[in-house]
Amino acid sequence: EHAWAPLLASNFQVRQGPNYARTGKKAPSGPALGEVVAVDCLRTERKIYDFLSLNYIALPEPTPGWSEVYPEFLVINEMVPTRFNSSIWTKKETTDGETFNVVVYVRLKPGLGHGWTNDMEPQNAEQLLNR
């Protein structure tokens, strides 16, 4: 049976400060930048990097009137090969085979880039939107 439960971002402990490697300090996360609205699990014969361009998967319904400078959805495709090579020096031909894909759809919150325009250097949450 399928199951899903919402979870507060503060339940996650995240790394703190630029000196994390030295201090190991973690603290509860701040508010989430978005909400997971769907997850698809697929098996493919080869790696597929951009499901959306192939029209295999449709995004959830958009929010009417979305007017942010960034897309409403962040789509993350986690690829897990069904077979693993023991060498890091392998060629693409030997690693591009059957793959499990976990595709996560995140609806970003409006206002993450408040006051940011494309000609400015991104700050805080906007840094993620710029990547």
Confidence (pLDDT) at 23:
94
pLDDT at 7 over 60: yes
Element (H, E) at 22: helix 20-23
Per-residue pLDDT tens over the stretch 88-97 = 665 665 567 8
Q: Cα torsion at 81, 83, 88, 90 (round to 10°)?
A: -100
User: Residue 81: what pLDDT?
Assistant: 86
What's the pLDDT at 53?
A: 82
Give the model confidence (pLDDT) of 48-79 as tens digits: 888 788 777 778 888 999 988 788 998 999 99
Residue 44 exposed, middle or buried by CB count within 10 Å (0-12, 13-18, 19+): middle
- Say which residue, 41 or 92, is predicted with more confidence: 41
